[in-house]
Amino acid sequence: MKMSNNSKSEEEIQNLRRNLEEIKAREGVLGYILRASTSAAVDIKDPSKIIGYAALSASVLESGEEISKIFNLGEIKTILLEGADTKILSLITDDHRLSIFMEKKFDHKELYADLSLS
C-alpha cells in the first residue's frame, strides 16, 4: 500500500487492520486509534487513557497537517511525537488516520515497516 491520496481498496485497509492487531500485541505498544470518516477503531491497553490519547491523536494529526501546509512539506508520510516516556506515530492514508501509541524506547521505524504501508 502506498502513502498517497489515491483510493485504497477495502482489502488494503483490512490488511492494515490485521497488521495492527498483530502489532498491538507486542510489548511496548500501548495501543492504536484508527479513524475513518464515519467510524473509528480504538484499542488502547489502558482504558483510562482512551480519552486523553484520542484528543492527543486528533491534535497531532491536525497540527501536523496545518504545519505541513504552512511550510509546504507536501504529502505527509509520518508524524512522530515524543513525550517523556511515550511516543506516537501518526499516519494519514486516504480518509484513514492512524495513531499508534508506544513506549519511547520502542523502535517506531520497525513498526512502520511492519505496517506494510510502503
Partner 1 sequence: MSKEVFVTALNNSLKEIRNICPDIKCSFLFTKDGTLVAEDALTDDIAMEKAMSPLQNLTEKAVMIGDLDSFLIDGSKGKVYISYTNEIYLAMVLSNDADMLYLRSVTHVIIPTILKLLETVFPTPAKPQKLDSSLQLFVDNLSGLRSRFIGDTVEIGHETRNQLLDLLNGGDVNEVEIEAFNGKKARCKVKEIEDSELEKKSLIRIPEKTIQALEVKKGELVKVRPITSKDLNVASKELKKEESPDYNYDIISTFGESQSVMWRILKK
Interaction site with partner 1 (CB under 8 A): 49, 52-53, 55-56, 59-60, 62-64, 66-68, 70-88
Shortest Cβ distance from residue 10 to partner 1 (Å)?
25
Q: 7: which 3 cell numbers?
A: 483510493
When the beta carbons of 14 and 59 are compared against partner 1, the nearer one is: 59
When the beta carbons of 5 and 14 are compared against partner 1, the nearer one is: 5
When the beta carbons of 9 and 59 are compared against partner 1, the nearer one is: 59
Shortest Cβ distance from residue 28 to partner 1 (Å)?
14
CB atoms within 10 A of CB 14: 10
DSSP code per residue over 9-44: PHHHHHHHHHHHHHHHTSTTEEEEEEE-SS-EEEEE
The angle subtended at Cα 2 by Cα 33 and Cα 26, nearest 5°, is: 40
Are 81 and 90 in contact by the 8 Å Cβ rule? The answer is yes
Shortest Cβ distance from residue 60 to partner 1 (Å)?
7
When the beta carbons of 47 and 74 are compared against partner 1, the nearer one is: 74
Counting Cα atoms < 13 Å in the Cβ hemisphere of 104 gives 6
Shortest Cβ distance from residue 39 to partner 1 (Å)?
23
